[in-house]
Amino acid sequence: MASLTDENMKRFLVDKVLAPTQLVVTVPIKGLLGYRKTQSRRWRYYSMSGSKLFSPIRDPEEMFQWLELNQFLKTLRQWHETDVTMEGDIMPAKVLDVFLKLVEDAIKACNLSNEIRVAENIGPIVRLILQTSEFKVELELIPVVEVLNRWCEKAQWPRCFSRWPSREIVQCVKSFGFDLMARSSYHWQVSLDRAEYMLMEGIDEDGGCRRACYQIMRQMKEDIWCPEERPIITAEHLQSVLFWTCEKYPRAKDWCVFKKAFLRLIRKLYKCVNQQYLKHFFIKGTNMFQYVSKNDLDIVAQRLNLFLKQPELQLN
């Protein structure tokens, strides 16, 4: 992790924060090469001071997993220090502590203390606030371990008999691998952002209007359905709704008429929000609304329902 203190990290702090919005930025961490799966074992839990915890703590959920040093063929010496590991387990909470200290040092070294401050954090997260005379930006930094050229075994995709996307695109998407994100105290969260990005890149190769539907849906979400500062429905939710709809309607002719395609997409979104259940597109058994307030989802469902009753008022 020593590479995070170099000039690239300093430029990153200055160059990435450019717009008045909320940003989530992943920061690859170096020194872990040759990822491989290991046999499952009885996991150990610790306090941050190093003592073992014997009270029962639930095993990782579907989107999370443990990470051990012996899962990598090559590791830099720094990864064997107790400031990031416990008895061979790489602890995301400890990694975040080290990362936070490096970020704070970089802010001071760049003389940015008057413009950037570290926000008070709740749980394992690194948040920065950039305040200028014109706008404020909230930046969430997430250290990630990149697992390149290897598909995530938790992702049972594509599904049998699926006609979208094409086999060529599937192979291309899988070749980009996946990430493990430090977003919890013990377990690393699986991220398939690169796969999702590649799907979006070629989503209209047949000349359809899928991307336009998604962009308008996202704009209406921000302006009408979820105008709150911390939105209930995120871009990740909308992207999953789009992917599921593409899989159900894989033909080019299903995406030729914008209004028809757009309303089909909104009906799918309304159904998921109303039922408070949105399956992760890649990983089976994961409800993307699992930690979203039911009351908040009810409010969004009402707004979507009102729109679907008279869509022409806002689409014309």
Burial of 60 (0-12, 13-18, 19+ CB in 10 A): middle
Tell me the average pLDDT across 122-147: 84
Binned at pLDDT 50, 70 and 90, residue 56 comes out as low
Q: Which has more pLDDT, 123 or 25?
A: 25
Distance between CA 274 and CA 89 in Å, rounded?
40
Burial of 103 (0-12, 13-18, 19+ CB in 10 A): buried
- What tens digit of pLDDT does each residue of 8-24 get? 444 444 444 334 456 78
Distance between CA 55 and CA 73 in Å, rounded?
33
C-beta separation of 16 from 106 below 8 A: no
Binned at pLDDT 50, 70 and 90, residue 216 comes out as very high
- What tens digit of pLDDT does each residue of 274-316 get? 999 999 999 988 999 999 999 999 999 999 999 999 886 665 5
Average per-residue pLDDT in the chain?
Answer: 87
Kindly give the pairing relationship between strand 64-65 and strand 188-191. antiparallel
Whether residue 46 has pLDDT greater than 70? yes
pLDDT at 292: 94
Percent of the chain with pLDDT over 90: 61
Amino acid symbol at 254? D
* Residue the block writes with tokens 């996991």: 43
Going along the chain from its start, the domains and CATH numbers come out as: 2-144 (3.30.460), 203-316 (1.10.1410.40)
| Exposed e or buried b per residue across 229-264, where buried means at least 16 C-beta atoms within 10 angstroms of its C-beta | eebbbbeebbbbbbbbbbbebeeeebbeeeeebbbb
Lowest-confidence region among 34-43, 174-183, 216-225: 34-43
Kindly give the pairing relationship between strand 85-86 and strand 89-90. antiparallel
The DSSP secondary structure of the chain, one letter per residue, reads: -GGGGSHHHHHHHHHS--SSSEEEEEEE--SEEEE----------B-TTSPBP-S--PPP-TTEE--BGGGEEEE-GGGGSTTTEETTEE-HHHHHHHHHHHHHHHHHHTT-TTTEEEPPPSSS-EEEEEE-SS-EEEEEEEEEEEETT---TT---SPTT--SS-HHHHHHHHTT-EEEE--SSS-EEEE-HHHHHHHHHTTTTTS-SHHHHHHHHHHHIIIII--SSS-SS-HHHHHHHHHHHHHHS-SGGGGSSHHHHHHHHHHHHHHHHHHT--B-SSSTT-BTTTTS-HHHHHHHHHHHHHHHHSTHHHH-
Binned at pLDDT 50, 70 and 90, residue 4 comes out as very low
Query: Comparing C-alpha atoms, which of 175, 251, 258, 172 is closest to residue 209?
Result: 258
